[in-house]
């Protein structure tokens, strides 16, 4: 068997034929020839006329312990559709790439599972090369089809570096996939998503879960007047815990305050914990407040009764929450009176979260995975690079290895 025949069968390069093999200090160089006679632009335009040509190399997967390079004559053409001179599209590499498709697919598959240092070490390439590969693979696999069929979505923000630098993340509740990542947490970042899905896509959306952010609420009500806004239960209880902290702090420095330092911190943990999760010593602390500080105990009762909202029957949610608001307004606790006003403002969205069974728990899980992507990437030099990694790992992109056929 000739060497060229053996490498043709081993590499199985689409649309190419091996014409020769030689060894150089840089590694093994496999000379290939494009079988197609017509020159093709990446936009789809094809012609037989060439503008000029040159010799180019692409890095391929290593053969054993030896680096392997593909070398071929590549031509340029004048594309009438693009109205400029472009390099012809080749089937064994992505447009503008200096690595073969097989090499990039392996790198992207590994990027979904491990850090860049491991990828760069195993494939003997640079961090920058891995970064560029991720962008090209995501650009090829990510299309508008990911935003088709959406009818229940979640919106949240996450900081990506120190200071007030945020990403707006939109995910599909049913598939768990990230469908949109944009810089910033202002209304424009979410508005761009609503513009991208078009009027038909906006009409299909039935429910949107989010935190109590007025920015996301305002934009969503304008763009999706028919959609039901569901406020995340975690954030509702979070602001209730903050109100409880204010009452506890006032009690600590007030006339009925009896605890300081470590005791106060232990009391804060006990009061924030759910009643069903209290340990024996924490139950004693809560009972002590019942005897010595009626204001703190009343605040704890209001917090617990608000938590119970998420366990009542669907048809009782609205009357139950109305009764809770009335009780909080009559509690003579300024922090809970303000909380009651906030909840009354977001009344429909809080009730809808219980009725629809939606929360931002999936978004919080996605944020945790984004933190993992940031850590194993040892930071990202740009938002676009981080967004590409998020899409690759959490956007539902499936990479097939060359060995999977």
pLDDT tops 70 at residue 253? no
Average pLDDT, the chain: 88
The pLDDT-based confidence of 79 (bands split at 50, 70, 90) is: confident
Summarize pLDDT for 9-23 with one digit per residue, the tens. Answer: 888 888 888 888 999
Cβ contact 233:343 at 8 Å: no
Cβ contact 354:105 at 8 Å: no
Domain ranges of the chain: 1-92, 144-231+386-398, 233-356
Share of the chain above pLDDT 70, in %: 97
CA distance 259 to 284: 14
Phi/psi for 31 (5° steps) reads: -85, 130
- pLDDT given for residue 255 in this prediction: 41
Pair of tokens at residue 143: 């299309």
CA distance 236 to 372: 26
pLDDT tops 90 at residue 148? no
Tell me the residue length of the chain. 405
Summarize pLDDT for 149-182 with one digit per residue, the tens. Answer: 899 999 999 988 877 788 999 999 988 899 999 9
- pLDDT given for residue 314 in this prediction: 84
How much is the pTM?
A: 0.86
- pLDDT given for residue 191 in this prediction: 93
Sheet of 228-231: strand order equals 178-183, 165-172, 152-161, 207-210, 228-231
Summarize pLDDT for 218-228 with one digit per residue, the tens. Answer: 999 999 999 99
**Using the 8-state DSSP alphabet, how is residue 75 labeled?**
E
Phi/psi for 183 (5° steps) reads: -70, 135
CA distance 301 to 214: 28
Average pLDDT over residues 326-338: 93
Cβ contact 13:70 at 8 Å: yes
pLDDT tops 60 at residue 256? no
CA distance 190 to 188: 5
Domain covering 144-231+386-398: architecture: 2-Layer Sandwich (3.30)
Pair of tokens at residue 129: 């090369």
Contacts of 350 (CB under 8 A, 6+ apart): 231, 233, 236, 309, 321, 343
- pLDDT given for residue 30 in this prediction: 92
* 3-state SS class at 50: coil
Average pLDDT over residues 196-221: 91
- pLDDT given for residue 254 in this prediction: 43
Phi/psi for 58 (5° steps) reads: -130, 135
Task: Say if strands 52-63 and 165-172 run parallel, antiparallel, or are unpaired.
Answer: unpaired
Task: Say if strands 207-210 and 228-231 run parallel, antiparallel, or are unpaired.
Answer: parallel
Average pLDDT over residues 29-35: 89
Alpha-carbon dihedral 166, 170, 173, 178, rounded to 10 degrees: -90
Summarize pLDDT for 115-139 with one digit per residue, the tens. Answer: 988 999 999 999 899 999 999 999 9
Distance of CA 277 to the CA centre of its chain: 32
Share of the chain above pLDDT 90, in %: 48
CA distance 297 to 310: 21
Residue 357 burial by Cβ neighbours in a 10 Å radius (0-12, 13-18, 19+) = exposed
More confidently predicted of 262 and 219: 219
CA distance 210 to 170: 10
**Which H or E run includes 373?**
helix 361-376
pLDDT tops 90 at residue 303? yes
Summarize pLDDT for 364-405 with one digit per residue, the tens. Answer: 999 999 999 988 887 777 888 899 999 999 998 999 998 876
CA distance 275 to 282: 10
Residue 23 burial by Cβ neighbours in a 10 Å radius (0-12, 13-18, 19+) = exposed
CA distance 192 to 183: 11
pLDDT tops 70 at residue 76? yes
pLDDT tops 80 at residue 257? no
The pLDDT-based confidence of 258 (bands split at 50, 70, 90) is: low
- Which of 195, 297, 290 is CA-nearest to residue 248? 297
- pLDDT given for residue 302 in this prediction: 94
């Amino acid at each position: 068997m000739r060497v060229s025949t053996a490498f043709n069968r081993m590499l199985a390069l689409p649309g190419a034929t091996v014409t020769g093999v030689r060894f150089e200090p840089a590694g093994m160089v496999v000379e290939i020839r494009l079988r197609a006679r017509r020159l093709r632009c990446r936009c789809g335009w094809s012609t037989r006329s060439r503008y000029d040509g040159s010799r180019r190399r692409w890095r391929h997967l290593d053969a054993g312990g030896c680096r392997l390079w593909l070398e071929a004559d590549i031509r340029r053409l004048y594309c009438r559709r693009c109205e400029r001179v472009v390099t012809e599209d080749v089937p064994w590499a992505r447009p503008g790439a200096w690595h073969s498709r097989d090499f990039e697919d392996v790198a992207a598959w590994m990027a979904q599972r491990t850090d860049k240092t491991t990828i760069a070490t195993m494939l003997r390439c640079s961090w920058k090369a891995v970064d560029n590969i991720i962008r090209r693979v995501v650009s090829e696999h990510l299309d508008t089809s990911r935003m088709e069929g959406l009818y229940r979505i979640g919106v949240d923000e996450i900081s990506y570096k120190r200071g007030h630098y945020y990403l707006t993340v939109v995910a599909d509740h049913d598939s768990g996939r990230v469908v949109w990542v944009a810089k910033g947490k202002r209304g424009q970042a979410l508005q761009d998503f609503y513009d991208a899905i078009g009027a038909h896509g906006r009409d299909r959306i039935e429910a949107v879960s989010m935190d109590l952010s007025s920015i996301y609420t305002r934009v969503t009500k304008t763009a999706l007047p028919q959609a039901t806004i569901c406020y995340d239960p975690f954030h509702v209880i979070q602001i209730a815990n903050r109100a409880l902290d204010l009452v506890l702090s006032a009690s600590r420095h007030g006339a009925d305050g009896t605890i300081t330092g470590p005791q106060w911190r232990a009391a804060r943990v006990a009061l924030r914990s759910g009643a069903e999760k209290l340990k024996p010593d924490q139950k004693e602390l809560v009972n002590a407040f019942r005897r010595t500080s009626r204001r703190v105990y009343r605040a704890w009762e209001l917090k617990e009764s608000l938590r119970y909202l998420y366990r009542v029957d669907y048809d009782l949610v609205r009357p139950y929450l109305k009764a809770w608001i009335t009780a909080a307004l009559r509690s003579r606790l300024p922090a809970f009176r303000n909380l009651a006003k906030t909840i009354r403002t977001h009344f429909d969205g809080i009730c809808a979260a219980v009725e629809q069974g939606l929360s931002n728990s999936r978004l919080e899980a996605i944020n945790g995975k984004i933190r993992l992507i940031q850590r194993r990437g040892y930071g990202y030099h740009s938002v676009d690079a981080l967004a590409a990694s998020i899409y690759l790992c959490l956007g539902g992109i499936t990479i097939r290895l060359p060995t999977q056929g």
